[in-house]
Amino acid sequence: MKLDSERLAGLIAVATGRRAADLCIKGCRLVNVFTGEIEEKGLAVCDGFIAGVGDYEGKQTIEAEGMFVSPGFIDGHTHIESSLLSPANYCAAVLPWGTSCVVADPHEIANVLGLAGIRYFVECARNIALDIFFNLPSCVPASPLETSGANLRGADLVSMLPDENLLGLGEMMNFPGVTGASAEVIDKLLLFQESVMDGHCPGLSGKDLNGYIAAGLASDHECTSAAEAAEKLSLGMTIMIRQGSQSKDLEKLIGIVNDYTWRRCMFVTDDLHPDDLVEKGHMNAIVNAAMSLGMAPARAIAMASWAPAGFFGLKRRGALAPGFIADFSLSPTLTPWNPSRVFKNGVEIAREGKLLVDPGSWPLPSPPEHPMHIDNIDPKYLLVPAKGTRLRVIEVLEHTLFTRRLSMSPTIENGCAVSDAERDLLKAAVYNRYVPGAKPAVGFVCGLGLKRGAIATSVAHDSHNVIAVGVSDCDILAAVSAVKQSGGGMAAVCGDRVEILPLPIAGLMSSLSAPEVSEKLKKLKACAKEWGAKLDNPYMALSFMSLSVIPELKLTDLGLVDVYKFAHVPLFEEIETKQASKSLTA
């Protein structure tokens, strides 16, 4: 939102008291993110901006009766696609929680649809009430270890500039490409060197970390410990403390925040499912969690407003001060922060959790068509002939994107390795949805807990092929078929019972509202739990089982990936041993 000469003159006139404000909030207590104080002062609004703080008169007056006022929350790193909601319905879901702005990385839809997917998001953002800024996805595909629907070079990304909604380069997940000075990665870094460039480097330390930061990558949201975050802070990085549906890092990282570091720390969601969004909140939920862990309220709020605004250069945002955009929320309590009235550009947009405008009234583009070329849904392609006595198995962990690499003996039937629910050893399959005729990759998973049935999803980071896990091959195939027939989605199958959440927008998002999607997702999760699943969110865990840039072991459409080696490895350990022996003999 920009000022012209007439609007600026009017704003100054109101600020100096020579003209009545459009809106005055009186009897309120303002959260001052600059000083950390709670101030009993009024707020004057003019033409969508805060004109002044103090005693003003206005054409409209709201008596706040002691309620607290916070600047609009800013999510500094998120993937809208992970909410399973269209941009419009995502907006309708987060605004009532006091979020006024998000910085999104559209690399999920970009992996499916390339530039067409990014353009769809950018066009949606121009017409909805939420301010959405974008960092262009740096890693499409995320790695050469999987098949995606697009391959975006630096020149492709730059072709979208300039655009006021595009800030810079999204999370650079290919940290081996950075530290190894890959020509393709260097090209992107040079093209965006004058912009904000987000990082993504889990576990990186020492000289490799120095090289990564020297390349200009300024933030990280993948810290696995306080010690890792402290090292990155000491070298100048900004730390994004993530608290999403799967990765919950707040408790282990909150200790890095102090009087010196807080301005270079911010809260982000990264990936948030619709049921959490509907029931628990958005940025306000992270703020409340931080306060419950002992953080001062004003600092917690600042880390969800002023800190991200400063890092991304979002001018006139993130504070309650003269000249700032009038995005704010009112809460009857400071701790917890429960927005009862939310204002966007000085106009009340939500009250008591309900949006006051109809998202259906926003003129939005139609989503592009997307590929779902899944073939070879046949039992013979899921057979795993026994070729050794030790299997590499993916251990799924709760509340993290990381997995562990296990070595387990296979259960053999008719000469093939099979699922063994008693040992929590389940077969997994990834189906390429971009290349007709491709055969699935098959592996094994531990930690999911299913005793019967199967689950499948076309949300499989980052390339979003279709991934399924189950006790029987028959149920796995039925779940994959259900996803294919829906044009993408999430499925739960056990015998004749089939439950599906269709995701027709790129195979990633629904056109339904957040409450509707939430109810369908809860039904799927209830099925999985009934059938033995141990995780709070088995679909979120499943969706990250293909993420080949997060350690340790993952499964993509091209096979099993050892992330530390950044290479495919055989399912049976003996095969690699034999290959190594032959190489030494030769």
pLDDT in tens, 71-88: 999 999 999 999 999 999
Distance CA 290, CA 311 (A): 20
Percentage of residues in the chain with pLDDT exceeding 90?
Answer: 89
Distance separating the N- and C-terminal Cα atoms of the chain: 67
Mean pLDDT on 500-528:
96
Distance CA 518, CA 515 (A): 5
The set of residues, in sequence order, having a beta carbon less than 8 Å from that of 428 and lying 6+ positions away, is: 394, 442, 443, 444, 445, 467, 468, 469, 545, 555
Evaluate whether 150 touches 113 at the Cβ level (below 8 Å): yes
Residue position matching structure tokens 């390429």: 432
Count CB-CB contacts under 10 A for residue 67: 19
Residue position matching structure tokens 């089939």: 498
Helix, strand and coil in the chain, % to nearest 5: 30, 25, 40
Count CB-CB contacts under 10 A for residue 18: 8
Distance CA 548, CA 396 (A): 14
* pTM of the shown model: 0.92
Mean pLDDT on 156-179:
93
Residue 527 CB-density burial (10 A; 0-12 exposed, 13-18 middle, 19+ buried): buried
Cα–Cα distance list, 254 to 224, 238, 239, 300, 314 (Å): 12, 14, 11, 10, 25
For residue 480, is pLDDT > 60? Answer: yes
Return the DSSP state at 243: B
Q: What is the mean pLDDT of the chain?
A: 94
Mean pLDDT on 108-130:
95
Preceding amide of 39 cis, omega within 30: no
Predicted pLDDT of residue 142:
84
SS3 580: helix
For residue 411, is pLDDT > 50? Answer: yes
Tokens of 35: 């000083």
β pairing state of 328-331 and 341-344:
antiparallel
What are the beta bridge partners of residue 466?
431
Residue position matching structure tokens 């909410």: 83
Distance CA 120, CA 123 (A): 5
What residue spans of 164-305 are helical by DSSP H?
Answer: 175-179, 183-191, 206-214, 226-234, 250-253, 274-279, 283-292, 297-302
- What would the pLDDT profile of 30-53 be if each residue is shown by its tens digit? 999 999 999 999 999 999 999 999
Side chain identity at 363, as an amino acid letter? P
Predicted pLDDT of residue 578:
59
Distance CA 313, CA 343 (A): 22
Residue 45's Cβ-side half-sphere holds a number of Cα atoms within 13 Å equal to: 22
Which is more confident, 581 or 350? 350
Superfamily holding 77-310+343-361: Metal-dependent hydrolases (3.20.20.140)
Of 431, 540, 417, nearest to 477 (Cα)? Answer: 431
Mean pLDDT on 508-524:
96
Mean pLDDT on 333-353:
97
Evaluate whether 173 touches 107 at the Cβ level (below 8 Å): no
- What would the pLDDT profile of 568-584 be if each residue is shown by its tens digit? 999 999 876 655 545 44
Residue position matching structure tokens 């927005």: 339
Evaluate whether 129 touches 88 at the Cβ level (below 8 Å): no
Residue 424 CB-density burial (10 A; 0-12 exposed, 13-18 middle, 19+ buried): buried
What residue spans of 60-142 are helical by DSSP H?
Answer: 87-94, 107-113, 115-125
Cα–Cα distance list, 74 to 37, 182, 269, 303, 340 (Å): 20, 33, 10, 9, 18
Cα–Cα distance list, 252 to 226, 241, 272, 307, 329 (Å): 6, 10, 19, 20, 29
Distance CA 565, CA 418 (A): 27
- What would the pLDDT profile of 205-226 be if each residue is shown by its tens digit? 999 999 999 999 999 999 989 9
Of 405, 382, 514, 466, nearest to 95 (Cα)? Answer: 514
Residue position matching structure tokens 């890693």: 139
List the strands of the sheet with 265-268, edge to edge.
Answer: 219-220, 238-242, 265-268
Distance CA 286, CA 61 (A): 31
Mean pLDDT on 457-464:
94
Give the number of residues written for the chain. 586
The set of residues, in sequence order, having a beta carbon less than 8 Å from that of 523 and lying 6+ positions away, is: 499
Distance CA 167, CA 148 (A): 24
Q: Kindly report, as residue ranges, where domains of CATH 3.20.20.140 are found in the chain.
A: 77-310+343-361
Q: How confident is the model at residue 585 (pLDDT cuts 50, 70, 90)?
A: very low
Evaluate whether 558 touches 467 at the Cβ level (below 8 Å): no
Task: List phi, psi (to 5°) of 553.
Answer: -120, 135
Count CB-CB contacts under 10 A for residue 436: 11
